Amino acid sequence: MNTRELITLSFNAIWGNKMRSFLTTLGITIGVFAIIVLVSIGSGLQAYISSQISSLGPNIMDVIPGNNLMSAFGPGTQNKFTIPLAQKLSDRLAPIAQVAPLAEVLTNVKYKNVVDKNVYAIGSTYNFPKAVVYGKTIMGRWFSQGQEQSGSKVAVIGYTVYTKFFSNKNPIGEKIFVGNEKYTVVGVAEKNGASLGVDHDNVVYIPIEAVHSQFGVDRLMEIVVNTNSENNVPIVKKQINAILSKDLNPDEYSIQTGDSLSKTLSNITGMLSLALGGIAAISLLVGGIGVANIMLVSVTERTKEIGLRKALGAKRKDILSQFLLESVMLSMTGGIVGILLGMIASIIIAMILVSSVTFWSVALAFCFSVAVGIIFGMAPAIRASKLSPIDALRYE
Partner 1 sequence: MKKNSIIKMVDIAKVYDGGEFHTQALKDIDLDVESGDFLAITGRSGSGKSTLMHIIGLLDTPSSGKYILNGTDVSKLDEDEQALQRNKEIGFVFQQFNLLPKLSALDNVILPSIYAGTASKERTEKADMLLTMLGLADHINKRPNQMSGGQQQRVAIARALMNDPELILADEPTGNLDTASGDDVMKTLKQLNKEGKTIVLITHEHDIALQARKILHLEDGRLIEK
Residue 20 in contact with partner 1, rule: CB under 8 A: no
Residue 305 in contact with partner 1, rule: CB under 8 A: yes
Q: Where are the beta strands (DSSP E) in the chain?
A: 60-65, 98-111, 114-124, 137-140, 154-157, 175-178, 181-189, 194-195, 198-199, 203-207, 222-226, 253-257
Q: What is the total count of residues that contact partner 1 (CB under 8 A)? A: 22
| Residue from 99, 309, 332, 355 binding partner 1 (CB under 8 A) | 309
The smaller minimum CB distance to partner 1, of residues 136 and 315, is found at: 315
Residue 1 in contact with partner 1, rule: CB under 8 A: yes
- Cβ(382)–Cβ(355) below 8 Å: no
Which span (173-181, 229-237, 268-276, 315-323) binds partner 1, by CB under 8 A? 315-323
The smaller minimum CB distance to partner 1, of residues 310 and 383, is found at: 310
Residue 383 in contact with partner 1, rule: CB under 8 A: no
CA 192 from chain centre, in angstroms, equals: 17
Alpha-carbon distance values, 191 to 62, 126, 323, 332, 384 (Å):
21, 19, 57, 44, 64
3-state secondary structure of 107: strand
CB of 16 to partner 1, least distance (A): 6
Q: Beta strands 154-157 and 60-65: pairing type? A: unpaired
DSSP state at residue 77 = S
CB of 391 to partner 1, least distance (A): 9
Residue 16 in contact with partner 1, rule: CB under 8 A: yes
- Alpha-helical regions (H) of 16-121: 18-56, 83-93
Q: What are phi and psi of 374, to 5 degrees?
A: -70, -50
| Residue from 26, 281, 296, 308 binding partner 1 (CB under 8 A) | 308
- Cβ(333)–Cβ(25) below 8 Å: yes
Residue 300 in contact with partner 1, rule: CB under 8 A: no
Residue 389 in contact with partner 1, rule: CB under 8 A: yes
Q: Which of residues 187-246 bind partner 1 (CB under 8 A)?
A: none
Residue 57 in contact with partner 1, rule: CB under 8 A: no
CB of 43 to partner 1, least distance (A): 45
Residue 112 in contact with partner 1, rule: CB under 8 A: no
Alpha-carbon distance values, 13 to 38, 195, 291, 300, 305 (Å):
33, 48, 14, 14, 12
CB of 390 to partner 1, least distance (A): 4
Residue among 220, 239, 252 nearest 86 (CA):
220
Summarize as ranges the residues that interact with partner 1 (CB under 8 A).
1-2, 5, 12, 16, 304-305, 308-318, 388-390, 393
